[in-house]
């Protein structure tokens, strides 16, 4: 290397000349290079690929949390460079130097290597399907076949940016209520573990019979301080069995059904599903992805088994010759006015544009719902927190008031 270090490794290349070129491009000076036995190389490649895939999946899911905009930035930069008539490999090489996420960078380097070997970009991306989802890969594949890869990447960049923006809005809206709930739990726990036991000992020394509310609070406090480990075990087991249950078909169905029926949040959740369906379907159709294939891809993006079943039935009807609007109207998971807009788009042969417009309308609807939900949840949490803490305080003050009355 440039630092004088010795490196021994195996490089996958179609010829020794290309192998030397790649090593020199990576800043390595070649001391010795030889062709490996094909059987050993094949075994090494299989084991290395399996190991790298496992490590990449684990590492990517951890590191991606630090940079949720990697895919949208990559798509936007690559689209801009291709529009400027830069070659694909040159564009990818330029982007690699700017990527900070080490796992994402490793994936893009591998993609560049496969493209150099003659693979299409979509096939190279497919090797990293845990990073680039099915919709992304299919849009790239269609873009390649139509000679409009730059436009496909631009649409994907828009899609990823909108997805990240929507996610950040929902997270921002939920952050304050979540903080308030955690703060309330911390305050109540402190009162029950620290303050109430001290007062309990004081009341016990006085030997006076306590009011029922005070006895209840004291009993809860004694249970928490004496059996705190039981509570922790119950919580851990509850989380464990809940996670197991939600992975079963029955559990997933019940939870998805509950999401659609929960008061306050169900309205926002339905709007997010409608936006996800209409906007993603519009993006796919506008990039000339087959209608049935588009339905299949969007179905897997919904993450709600009930809605997925509705979309699957609608796709079957479309395959049998029904119009999109008619098929969707039979399943009734979209409001009637949206069905009307889709029908209008079909009659004017602009169904993709109409779906994108519906998606944009629902972006605004989601933002309004987030604001109204936040303004509704915050006072409810404050009232509940005040009610619980108030009950604890009153239960403590009752014996003191009674003692004052006796003294008087």
Identify the pLDDT of residue 16: 66
Number of domains in the chain: 3
Does one domain contain both 304 and 382? yes
Question: 206 Cβ partners below 8 Å, 6+ apart?
Answer: 403
Crossing angle between the packed helical segments 291-301 and 134-146, to the nearest 10 degrees = 150
Asked, for residue 11, whether it belongs to a domain, the answer is: no
Identify the pLDDT of residue 244: 92
From CA 113, how far away is CA 257, in angstroms rounded? Answer: 45
Q: Which residue has the tokens 């010759």?
A: 321
Residue 142 Cα to chain centre, angstroms: 25
Does one domain contain both 127 and 158? no
Q: Which domain CATH number covers 117?
A: 1.20.81.30
Residue 214 Cα to chain centre, angstroms: 45
Identify the pLDDT of residue 39: 47
**Which letter does DSSP use for residue 206 in this model?**
H
Does one domain contain both 116 and 254? no
From CA 157, how far away is CA 151, in angstroms rounded? Answer: 10
**Domain span at residue 190?**
151-408
Q: What is the pTM of this model?
A: 0.70
Identify the pLDDT of residue 11: 65
Does one domain contain both 199 and 332? yes
Asked, for residue 326, whether it belongs to a domain, the answer is: yes
Identify the pLDDT of residue 340: 92
The mean of the pLDDT values for the chain is 81
From CA 131, how far away is CA 352, in angstroms rounded? Answer: 26
Identify the pLDDT of residue 241: 93
Does one domain contain both 198 and 76? no
Identify the pLDDT of residue 80: 92
Does one domain contain both 174 and 254? yes
Extract the tokens encoding 343: 């029908």
Identify the pLDDT of residue 105: 87
Identify the pLDDT of residue 141: 86
| Residue numbers of the chain with a pLDDT score lower than 70 | 1-68, 403-408
Identify the pLDDT of residue 342: 92
């Amino acid at each position: 290397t440039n630092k004088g270090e010795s490196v021994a490794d195996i490089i996958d290349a179609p010829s020794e000349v290309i192998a030397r070129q790649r090593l020199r491009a990576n800043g390595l000076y070649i001391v010795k290079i030889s062709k490996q036995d094909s059987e050993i190389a094949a075994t090494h490649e299989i084991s290395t690929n399996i190991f790298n895939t496992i490590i990449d999946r684990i590492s990517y899911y951890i590191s991606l949390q630090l940079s949720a905009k990697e895919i949208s930035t990559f798509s936007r930069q690559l689209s801009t460079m291709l529009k400027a008539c830069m070659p694909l490999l040159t564009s990818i090489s330029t982007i690699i130097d700017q990527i900070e996420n080490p796992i994402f960078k490793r994936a893009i380097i591998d993609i560049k290597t496969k493209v150099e070997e003659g693979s299409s970009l979509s096939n190279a991306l497919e090797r990293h399907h845990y990073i680039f989802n099915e919709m992304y890969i299919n849009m790239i594949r269609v873009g390649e076949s139509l000679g409009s890869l730059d436009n496909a990447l631009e649409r994907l960049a828009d899609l990823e940016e909108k997805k990240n923006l929507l996610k950040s809005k929902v997270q921002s809206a939920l952050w304050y209520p979540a903080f308030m709930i955690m703060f309330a739990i911390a305050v109540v726990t402190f009162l029950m573990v620290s303050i109430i036991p001290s007062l309990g000992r004081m009341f016990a020394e006085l030997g006076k019979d306590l009011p029922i509310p005070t006895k209840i609070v004291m009993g809860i406090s004694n249970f928490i301080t004496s059996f705190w480990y039981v509570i922790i075990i119950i919580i851990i087991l509850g989380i464990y069995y809940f996670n197991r249950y939600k992975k079963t078909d029955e559990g997933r169905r019940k939870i998805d059904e509950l999401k659609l029926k929960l008061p306050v949040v169900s309205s926002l959740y339905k709007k997010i599903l409608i936006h996800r369906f209409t906007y993603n379907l519009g993006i796919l159709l506008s990039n000339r992805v087959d209608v049935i294939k588009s339905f299949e891809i969007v179905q897997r993006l919904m993450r709600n088994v009930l809605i997925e079943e509705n979309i699957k039935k609608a796709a079957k009807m479309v395959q049998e010759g029904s119009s999109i609007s008619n098929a969707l109207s039979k399943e009734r998971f979209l409001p009637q006015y949206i069905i009307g807009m889709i029908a209008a788009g079909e009659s004017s042969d602009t169904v993709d544009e109409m779906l994108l417009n519906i998606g944009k309308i629902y972006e605004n609807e989601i933002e309004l719902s987030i604001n109204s939900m936040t303004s509704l949840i915050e006072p409810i949490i404050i009232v509940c927190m005040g009610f619980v803490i108030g009950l604890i305080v009153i239960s403590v003050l009752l014996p003191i008031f009674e003692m004052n009355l006796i003294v008087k």
